[in-house]
Amino acid sequence: MPRVTRRVSASLRAVNKRSDTCMVFVLNKHKEPLMPCSEKRARKLLENKKAVIHKYTPFTIRLKNEVEDCKVEPLQIKIDPGSKETGIAVIQEKEDKLLLRYAGIVKHKITVADNLKHRSQMRRGRRNRNTRYRPARWANRKNSTKKGRFAPSMLSRVYSTLNLVRKMKSLAPIQIVSVEHVKFDMQKLANPEVSGVEYQHGKLFGYEVKEYLLEKYGRKCAYCGAEKVPLEIEHMIPKSKGGTDRIDNLAIACVKCNQEKSNMMPKEYIEYLSKQKGDKAKTMIANFEKAIKDAKQTLKDAASVNTTRWVLCNKLKEEFGDVELASGGRTKFNRHNQGLPKEHYFDAACVGLCDKHIDVKTQYATINKIMGRGNRQTIIPDKHGFARGHRSRNKTKEGFMTGDFVKVKGITGRAIAVKSAGTVHIRDKNGKEISCSTKKALMLQHGDGWQRSILKINFNRKSEKIQTEEKQI
């Protein structure tokens, strides 16, 4: 627990500047959650020395004395899962209305797959340099072939949501968990007009992939129009840059065009062709633009939600018992009836049973971005894969480490670097970097692997329009 400053004025400034919502979390003497209070009440408790600061982000106070006959009402947390972002809402039920006390967004770490690929390439290069005599081995990874394996990139989305729910449950008396259990229709997303037998069979019914593409493009190169030459399957959006193996992202191209395009994105390839002279280049640009127009939007986000929905629900049931499951259609219906704009946290507030008017009691939405606590890699490689430096195994320097909430020269901020020479560098909410000796710095809160910022919410129910302004905390 961070050490609390002795001055009351410092505590008051912390409440005024660091409270990320209109709601302040409250813990009793034994660190058990009580009903959240307003900023005004928290300020009075700190001023009268009846409470101390327990956490700065999210702002939490802890009472110093025992409280008798304290009424604790059960709160409900609602979750709107997404591929890149997940909406979180804490609801308090009253007799005639529902109070939205907390609105938040979980920003998932979407670089997990790229990081694993980078690690794999580093290790492969090291093996090739050190054991060239050994032939390559295939299918010898037990973790990748075992039954019921779940991809780490998908599992990261599940655990980031689960981790935040755990944090909220430790700070507030949450007893009910509701989650949107949605399944996207991939065929309808790709082609909204599909129906009947076509819906059942799909595009590749009775075809091999290459044969379908050959017939689709008239056995010609989709780019230059060459005939009677060897043709290859080509990804219009390269797989190395997020492209998929969906049939709409595939084209048939000759060897020359396929090698010429390489891993260029569509815009890069069009710019490359536009620099060339002649009618052939113009024809290739027209053919490529037509092929891109026919390709539909990627469905990676919908596929990730479909993949993780049951895993997330089962994990929540294991940890919190009964979980209310609701459909996406019901969420949309509730949001439309409430007159709320389309945002992740408002979608979360409308998940499940929502038969009363939702009164938005918070002026801010908290953005929780998962950053992690660093990696175990000690060698820092350059762009070619060769070592350019080494990291120390000990991440802590003089009790400080990157990500800690630190007070330096009267200014609070996140530690962005801790040097072995005994200096700590922080970045305040305005983006200004300040450095100071670790002996003169004050530790406020150890980093928990999350980076938080706030969105000020200004919206109109009638027009369903919203204006937001993001600030760092």
- Residues 170-207: tens digit of each pLDDT: 999 999 999 998 776 555 555 555 455 444 445 554 45
d(CA 352, CA 469): 29
Sign of CA dihedral 431, 107, 334, 35: negative
Name every residue whose Cβ is closer than 8 Å to that of residue 391 and which is 6 or more positions away in sequence.
377, 378, 379, 380
> 252 and 258 in contact (C-beta within 8 Å)?
no
How much of the chain exceeds pLDDT 70, in percent?
A: 82
Is 183 or 282 the better-scoring residue by pLDDT?
Answer: 282
Confidence at residue 51, expressed as pLDDT on a 0 to 100 scale: 93
Q: Which helix (H) or strand (E) holds 370?
A: strand 364-370
Confidence at residue 81, expressed as pLDDT on a 0 to 100 scale: 92
Strands 37-38 and 51-55, by their bridges, are unpaired
Q: How many CA atoms lie within 13 A of 237 on its CB side?
A: 17
Confidence at residue 45, expressed as pLDDT on a 0 to 100 scale: 92
Is 17 or 399 the better-scoring residue by pLDDT?
Answer: 399
For 384, the 3-state DSSP assignment is coil
Once rounded to an integer, what is the mean pLDDT over residues 85-108?
91
Once rounded to an integer, what is the mean pLDDT over residues 15-27?
63
Whether the predicted pLDDT of 3 surpasses 50: no
Q: What is the secondary structure of 203-265 as a DSSP string?
A: TTTT--HHHHHHHHTTTS-TTT---SS-EEEEESS-GGGT----GGGEEEEEHHHHHHHTT--
CATH 2.30.30.60 fits 390-447, yes or no: yes
- Give the distance, in angstroms, between the CA of residue 322 and the centroid of all CA atoms in the same chain: 25
Once rounded to an integer, what is the mean pLDDT over residues 147-170?
89
Confidence at residue 189, expressed as pLDDT on a 0 to 100 scale: 54
Of 98-107, 198-207, 398-407, 427-436, give the range with the top mean pLDDT: 98-107
d(CA 214, CA 450): 49
Q: What is the secondary structure of 312-339 as a DSSP string?
A: HHHHHHHHHS-EEEE-HHHHHHHHHHHT
Name every residue whose Cβ is closer than 8 Å to that of residue 268 and which is 6 or more positions away in sequence.
none
365 to 98, 101, 351, 354, 458: CA distances (angstroms): 17, 10, 17, 20, 11
- HEC string of 343-366 equals CHHHHHHCCCCCCCEEEECCCEEE
Whether the predicted pLDDT of 89 surpasses 90: yes
* Residue that is written with structure tokens 């049951």 in the block: 310
For 132, the 3-state DSSP assignment is coil
Is 244 or 253 the better-scoring residue by pLDDT?
Answer: 253
The strand pairing partners of 320, in sequence order, are none
316: its two tokens: 């929540």
Confidence at residue 191, expressed as pLDDT on a 0 to 100 scale: 57
Of 112-116, 305-309, 331-335, 409-413, give the range with the top mean pLDDT: 331-335
Q: Which of 118, 154, 117 is nearest to 300 (CA)?
A: 154
Q: Which of 42-51, 120-129, 371-380, 397-406 has the lowest mean pLDDT?
A: 371-380
35 to 22, 58, 257: CA distances (angstroms): 13, 15, 65
> 304 and 427 in contact (C-beta within 8 Å)?
no
454: its two tokens: 């706030």
Class of domain 204-294: mainly alpha
80: its two tokens: 């709107």
* Residue that is written with structure tokens 């395009």 in the block: 261
Whether the predicted pLDDT of 135 surpasses 80: no
Cis peptide before 135 (omega within 30 of 0): no
- Give the distance, in angstroms, between the CA of residue 14 and the centroid of all CA atoms in the same chain: 28
407 to 16, 164, 473: CA distances (angstroms): 16, 25, 13
Class of domain 75-110+151-186+301-371+452-472: alpha beta
Kindly list the domain boundaries of the chain, sorted by start residue.
9-63, 75-110+151-186+301-371+452-472, 204-294, 390-447
pTM recorded for the entire structure: 0.74
102: its two tokens: 């907390």
* Average pLDDT of the residues of the chain: 81
Of 53-67, 202-216, 372-386, give the range with the top mean pLDDT: 53-67
Reported as a single tens digit per residue, the pLDDT across 409-467 is 888 888 888 887 888 888 877 778 888 888 888 888 888 888 888 888 877 666 566 66
Residue 294: pLDDT band with limits 50, 70, 90? low
Name every residue whose Cβ is closer than 8 Å to that of residue 387 and which is 6 or more positions away in sequence.
379, 380, 381
Confidence at residue 63, expressed as pLDDT on a 0 to 100 scale: 93
Whether the predicted pLDDT of 86 surpasses 90: yes
Neighbours of 83 (CB within 10 A): 18
Whether the predicted pLDDT of 47 surpasses 50: yes
State the amino acid at position 468 in one-letter form: T
318 to 88, 308, 313: CA distances (angstroms): 19, 15, 9
Name every residue whose Cβ is closer than 8 Å to that of residue 337 and which is 6 or more positions away in sequence.
354
State the amino acid at position 34 in one-letter form: L
Confidence at residue 2, expressed as pLDDT on a 0 to 100 scale: 39
Residue 239: pLDDT band with limits 50, 70, 90? confident
Reported as a single tens digit per residue, the pLDDT across 214-224 is 878 888 888 88
Confidence at residue 114, expressed as pLDDT on a 0 to 100 scale: 84
Confidence at residue 363, expressed as pLDDT on a 0 to 100 scale: 84
Confidence at residue 473, expressed as pLDDT on a 0 to 100 scale: 62
416 to 374, 423, 432, 447: CA distances (angstroms): 12, 11, 11, 11
Confidence at residue 244, expressed as pLDDT on a 0 to 100 scale: 77
